[in-house]
């Protein structure tokens, strides 16, 4: 059974993962329904797929979950361990005595409480002693309103300010300057600065291998020769192919043997992961996880459509879609250095072709743009009810890969 949700990372000032906000819908028969907050939260908590999905989606980090007044009064948050969740009070909930009593009770029980999409009213001051986080939408809230919130919460050292919908590096820096300590959005998927970063020989070898393995007809001899030129790559290949993840009966001892046993599909995934990890030493692990999730998501979409010619390229397109952020430069500059097939470059630079379409579905799903993802699936004559299963698979696969290879 699958948990029908997407997740959005919440990072601290060092861009370390602190938790995920879960964005959810109901089951396979109605993946994109219009349901109210009470019903959505109820299904999340009560659904049989919930326990499975929570563990897989949060990587043992707290899950930020929206609650309405009704679900708070019913005690739904207490059905989950206090270490598992951050109780988000929806912006539609009005402050009042019943809500205050519920918040005080949760705080007494040790739960972490956040006000979601906060819009300042003086009456909220009565809640401040019991609130741990206040989330401010940077797209919907004016600078003057943000400064008013900052001023109102001064003196309440228990409250952390969370900047939501931070889309650019400039917004991220502004939030830091204003004293925000947690961040949610896709600012880390944009270049932080425009600069030219030369790839060292080992990374160029990886880029060459990525190109070779993206071809339909793989030249095993040429790939073996590239590995044999780089001791570091050879070591990592042998370590990967001998890992417990593959449950080999006999250990692999030569480069050629490792390549044959892995096969092109697994080799391509290994190289993509290794490339992203190697060039992102100062980047948050979440960036690599997101790259891997997109890669697997795109690969599975192509597989679902029986688009055999593009399965490998779909994976690489997803993997490379965050390379501008990993290298801190524009995608134009990144693509000029990597020997990738023209279809991948067209997808990433111009948004053209079916590879770009796969990527757009993956990105819309991860951002909970359900209707857009559904419409794009319809354009591809692809049943959108497959998306929750694909997303769950992609998240699980990316988690497994991160455990196999150390950065």
pLDDT confidence of residue 243: 62
Same structural domain, 231 and 286: yes
What band does 292 get if pLDDT is binned at 50, 70 and 90? confident
Whether the Cβ atoms of residue 88 and residue 21 lie closer than 8 Å to each other: yes
User: Which CATH number does the domain housing residue 323 bear?
Assistant: 1.10.3210.10
Q: How far apart are the first and last CA of the chain?
A: 32
Q: Which of 118, 138, 143, 146 lies closest to 183, judged by CA?
A: 138
User: Which CATH number does the domain housing residue 137 bear?
Assistant: 3.20.20.450
Q: What's the number of CA atoms in the CB half-sphere (13 Å) around residue 330?
A: 6
Same structural domain, 269 and 318: yes
Q: Is residue 194 part of a domain?
A: no
pLDDT confidence of residue 282: 58
Whether the Cβ atoms of residue 1 and residue 48 lie closer than 8 Å to each other: yes
| Mean pLDDT of the chain, nearest integer | 80
State the residue range of the domain holding 43.
5-189
Same structural domain, 89 and 236: no
Give ∠ CA 329-335-340 in degrees, rounded to 5: 150
Question: For 235-284, what is each residue's pLDDT tens digit?
Answer: 677 667 766 555 555 556 567 777 887 887 778 777 766 766 665 555 66
Same structural domain, 93 and 160: yes
Whether the predicted pLDDT of 89 surpasses 90: yes
pLDDT confidence of residue 260: 82
What band does 325 get if pLDDT is binned at 50, 70 and 90? confident
Read off the pLDDT of each residue in 51-56 and give the average, rounded to a whole number: 56
Read off the pLDDT of each residue in 40-46 and give the average, rounded to a whole number: 51
Tally of domains in the chain: 2
Q: Is residue 195 part of a domain?
A: no
Same structural domain, 165 and 278: no
Q: Is residue 266 part of a domain?
A: yes
Q: To the nearest 10°, report the CA torsion of 36, 58, 398, 403.
A: -170
What band does 110 get if pLDDT is binned at 50, 70 and 90? very high
Q: Tokens in use for 248?
A: 């080999």
Whether the predicted pLDDT of 311 surpasses 60: yes
Same structural domain, 205 and 330: yes
Question: For 146-189, what is each residue's pLDDT tens digit?
Answer: 999 999 999 999 999 999 998 877 888 899 999 999 999 876 66
Q: Residue written as tokens 């990144």?
A: 334
Same structural domain, 161 and 228: no
CA 329/CA 296 separation, integer angstroms? 24
Beta strands in 158-271 (DSSP E): 160-166, 182-185
Whether the Cβ atoms of residue 283 and residue 405 lie closer than 8 Å to each other: no
CA 87/CA 217 separation, integer angstroms? 52
Read off the pLDDT of each residue in 69-96 and give the average, rounded to a whole number: 89
Q: Tokens in use for 112?
A: 């972490």
Same structural domain, 226 and 152: no
Phi, psi of 183 (to 5 degrees): -140, 140
Q: Is residue 196 part of a domain?
A: no
Same structural domain, 316 and 174: no
Read off the pLDDT of each residue in 73-83 and give the average, rounded to a whole number: 86
The residue from 145, 168, 189 where one domain ends is 189
Same structural domain, 102 and 73: yes
Same structural domain, 176 and 130: yes
Read off the pLDDT of each residue in 291-315 and give the average, rounded to a whole number: 89
What band does 291 get if pLDDT is binned at 50, 70 and 90? confident
pTM strictly above 0.85: no
């Amino acid at each position: 059974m699958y948990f029908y949700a997407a997740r959005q990372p919440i990072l601290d000032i060092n861009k370390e993962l602190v938790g995920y906000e879960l964005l959810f819908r109901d089951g396979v028969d109605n993946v994109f329904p219009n349901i109210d907050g009470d019903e959505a939260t109820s299904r999340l908590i009560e659904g049989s797929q919930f326990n499975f999905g929570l563990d897989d989606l949060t990587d043992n980090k707290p899950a930020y979950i929206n609650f309405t007044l009704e679900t708070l009064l019913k005690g739904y948050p207490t059905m989950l361990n206090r270490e598992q969740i951050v109780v988000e009070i929806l912006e539609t909930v009005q402050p009042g005595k019943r809500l205050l009593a519920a918040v005080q009770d949760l705080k007494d029980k040790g739960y972490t409480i956040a006000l979601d999409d906060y819009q300042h009213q003086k009456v909220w001051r009565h809640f401040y002693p019991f609130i741990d986080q206040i989330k401010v939408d940077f797209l919907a809230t004016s600078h003057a309103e943000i400064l008013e919130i900052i001023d109102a919460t001064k003196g309440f050292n228990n409250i952390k300010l969370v900047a939501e919908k931070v889309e650019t590096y400039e917004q991220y820096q502004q939030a830091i300057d204003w004293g925000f300590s947690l961040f949610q959005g896709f600012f880390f998927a944009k270049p932080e600065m425009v600069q030219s970063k030369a790839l060292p020989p080992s990374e160029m070898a990886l880029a060459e291998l990525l190109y070779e393995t993206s071809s339909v007809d793989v030249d095993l001899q040429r790939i073996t020769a590239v590995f044999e030129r780089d001791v570091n790559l050879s070591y990592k290949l042998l370590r990967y192919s001998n890992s417990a993840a593959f449950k080999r009966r006999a250990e692999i001892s030569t480069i050629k043997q490792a390549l044959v046993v892995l096969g092109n599909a697994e080799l391509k995934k290994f190289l993509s992961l290794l490339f992203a990890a190697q060039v992102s030493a100062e980047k948050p692990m979440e960036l690599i996880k997101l790259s891997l999730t997109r890669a697997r998501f795109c690969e599975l979409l192509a597989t679902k459509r029986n688009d055999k010619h593009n399965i490998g390229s779909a994976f690489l397109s997803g993997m490379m879609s965050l390379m501008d952020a990993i290298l801190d430069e524009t995608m134009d500059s990144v693509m000029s250095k990597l020997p990738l097939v023209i279809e991948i470059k067209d997808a990433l630079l111009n948004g053209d072709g079916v590879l770009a379409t796969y990527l757009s579905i993956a990105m819309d799903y991860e951002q909970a743009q359900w209707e857009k993802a559904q419409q794009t699936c319809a354009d591809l004559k692809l049943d959108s009810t497959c998306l929750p299963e694909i997303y769950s698979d992609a998240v699980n696969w990316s988690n497994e890969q991160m455990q196999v290879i150390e950065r």
